[in-house]
Amino acid sequence: MKQLTGKGSSGFTLIEMITVIIILGVLAAAVSSYIKFATQIYIEATTREQLISSTRFAIERLNRDVRNALPNSLRLTNANLCLEMSPILASTTYIDIPVAPEDTSNTIDVIEFDDTFIWALNSNWSVVVYPLNFDDVYGSNNKVFDVSSISSPGDIRVVTLDSSVQFSEDSPTQRIYFINANDTVSYCLVGEILTRNNVPIAQDIHNVNLPFEITPATLQRNAMVQINLLLEKNNEQVSFNNEIQVLNVP
């Protein structure tokens, strides 16, 4: 009788298993490196976009405020880390103002302007005529006077002041501005945060020597405001250099 013998069982040898493990390790390392670099690129792109978006909002807000600022009211404060300005509430053309050698008067006749301004009038509002520098706006002078009331007897507006005054000079264009003496707008770089009237509007800003610069107006062009900001986050840097033309003139 023949003896039945079983067929020999097959399997992986130790060398084959080691080879497979090495191949899988190489593949895993390649895949993990690809995922790592892809993730890093995404994080860097997202961080850069966040920096740009937040700063664009801040710069756009600053643009609007500068373009609505009283002429020559912009000034640098706090070691040039703050940019301050006085917003225009309304403006129009005056018919006549008391200027030497004319007698003092507490009324000014102006051309009709927006009625909504009158209803918002409060005790802090003032009139300004021909400001040539920020001392004419913020200092003690004879170009800014407090308003008591505004009436409209006909096609003109009569602005009544708190007292009888005499302006130092006429405006070449007879332009008169209305401002709120206690309502200035101030942009400040506090550490790594840009604020507007103490409210944060952008962050991750690395301080530079001159974040704000003001170039005075000349006979050839209006005044200019330059903003220099350097943003950094997660080793990503974005530099902003923006110039704003001051549209309003005295």
Which pLDDT value is given to residue 125? 86
Q: Give the pLDDT of residue 114.
A: 66
- pLDDT tens track for 148-199: 888 876 778 888 999 999 998 899 999 999 998 788 999 999 888 899 999 9
Q: Give the pLDDT score at 185.
A: 94
Q: How confident is the model at residue 8 (pLDDT cuts 50, 70, 90)?
A: low
In CATH terms, is domain 88-180 a member of 2.40.10?
no
10-24 residue pLDDT tens? 666 877 778 878 887
CA 68 remoteness from chain centre: 12
Q: What is the mean pLDDT of the chain?
A: 82
Residue ranges of domains in the chain: 47-84+184-245, 88-180
Q: Write down the pLDDT at residue 10.
A: 63
Q: How many CB atoms lie within 10 A of CB 211?
A: 22
User: Which residues have a Cβ under 8 Å from the Cβ of 85 and sit 6 or more positions away?
Assistant: 65, 66, 69, 70, 73, 74, 75, 184, 185, 186
Four-residue CA torsion sign, 132, 138, 139, 141:
positive
Q: Are strands 205-206 and 224-233 parallel, antiparallel or unpaired?
A: antiparallel
Q: How much is the pLDDT for 43?
A: 67
Which tens digit of pLDDT belongs to each residue from 85-125? 999 988 889 998 999 888 999 999 998 776 555 555 666 88
Rg (CA), the chain: 34
